[in-house]
């Protein structure tokens, strides 16, 4: 398991890289998004971003703006959005990202029927997957809920586009989600990245682990039995201690308390452990 954190695009990216480095995360999942993490910012500040990542030996993944449509019914609008996706892909490549995630469709299903919704998604992803592959990047599609894209519809998509998936545990665990286990049963070989956060069982709350109604221990045990790769803790909280707590909780549930504490001892030279000063 490799644990990362995602930046808040409304805060300064480089400051957050330093914060996550101090917390001992393994990587940063950079959401390339307005206002403070747009492609133009990354292009202009590439050296400073890479220096900040390198100072903590942090890896990089990337996430596309969640509100970019992949199934817009107006073809010219979708083509314009695809150009913005490609711009963001190139920015992600500049800072070393190999995996990039985009969301399944966010437009209301009242705008177009489900058949058009699925076919437009397939058409867009054929283009975007080719662009990402040409840049040496692994494009992954993330589940939202069944209103956005169901497991059955993902199966149709994957029969047309040979791409991977980012399994968002929180999204799968909402009232309109279809359950984490169901996604593993359907797509285990395609799941190449994960997002983890808690919720109250109805909405996409992005809570710290244990702050909602998700059975965290049971969920982590399920994940561990099926997957051992990158997991981003996508906790939306202004206080970074909630993110740090979630990191420790996940590490203890995955590796056990003894290894967690042994690893902590390894991080700090004798007499410099802040827990013991």
Domains of the chain, earliest start first: 2-267 (3.20.20.150)
Given this model, what pLDDT does residue 269 score?
64
Distance CA 263, CA 267 (A): 6
> What are the structure tokens assigned to 255, written together?
């590796």
Query: Sign (positive/negative) of CA torsion 232, 236, 240, 241?
Result: negative
- DSSP summary character for residue 252: H
Query: What is the per-residue pLDDT for 257?
Result: 84
- How do the pLDDT tens digits run along the chain, 277 residues long? 999 999 999 999 999 999 999 999 999 999 999 999 999 999 999 999 999 999 999 999 999 999 999 999 999 999 999 999 999 999 999 999 999 999 998 788 789 999 999 999 999 999 999 999 999 999 999 999 878 899 999 999 999 999 999 999 999 999 889 999 999 999 999 999 999 999 999 999 999 999 999 999 999 999 999 999 999 999 999 999 999 999 999 999 999 988 777 776 666 666 766 656 5
- Buried b / exposed e along 174-203 (16+ C-beta atoms within 10 A): beebbebeebbebbeebbbbbbbbbbeeee
Confirm if 87 and 93 have CB atoms less than 8 A apart. Answer: no
Whether the Cβ atoms of residue 60 and residue 97 lie closer than 8 Å to each other? yes
User: So what's the pLDDT on residue 107?
Assistant: 83
| pTM metric for this prediction | 0.93
Residue 266's pLDDT is what? 64
| Dihedral (CA of 41, 65, 136, 78) sign | negative
Structure-block tokens of residue 186: 């359907």
């Amino acid at each position: 398991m490799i644990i990362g954190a995602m930046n808040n695009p409304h805060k300064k990216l480089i400051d957050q890289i330093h914060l996550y480095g101090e917390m001992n995360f393994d990587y940063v999942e950079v959401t390339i998004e307005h206002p403070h993490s747009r492609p133009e910012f990354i292009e202009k500040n590439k050296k400073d971003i890479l220096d900040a990542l390198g100072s903590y030996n942090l890896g990089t993944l990337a996430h596309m703006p969640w509100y970019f449509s992949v199934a817009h019914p107006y073809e010219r609008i979708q083509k314009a959005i695809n150009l913005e996706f490609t711009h963001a892909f190139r920015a992600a490549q500049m800072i070393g990202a190999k995996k990039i995630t985009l969301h399944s469709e966010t437009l209301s299903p009242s705008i177009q029927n489900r058949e058009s919704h699925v076919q437009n998604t397939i058409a867009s992803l054929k283009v975007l997957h080719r662009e990402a592959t040409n840049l040496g990047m692994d494009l992954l599609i993330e589940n939202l809920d069944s209103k956005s894209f169901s497991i059955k519809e993902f199966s149709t998509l994957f029969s047309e586009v040979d791409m991977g998936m980012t399994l968002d545990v929180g999204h799968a665990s909402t009232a309109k989600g279809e359950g984490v286990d169901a996604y593993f049963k359907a797509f285990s070989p395609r799941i190449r990245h994960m997002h983890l956060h808690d919720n109250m069982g109805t909405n996409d709350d992005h809570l710290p682990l244990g702050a909602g109604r998700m059975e965290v221990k049971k969920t982590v045990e399920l994940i561990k039995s099926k997957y051992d790769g990158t997991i981003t803790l996508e906790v939306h909280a202004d206080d970074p201690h909630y993110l740090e707590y979630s990191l420790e909780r996940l590490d203890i549930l995955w590796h056990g308390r003894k290894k967690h504490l042994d690893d902590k001892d390894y991080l700090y030279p004798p007499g410099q452990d802040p827990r013991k000063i």
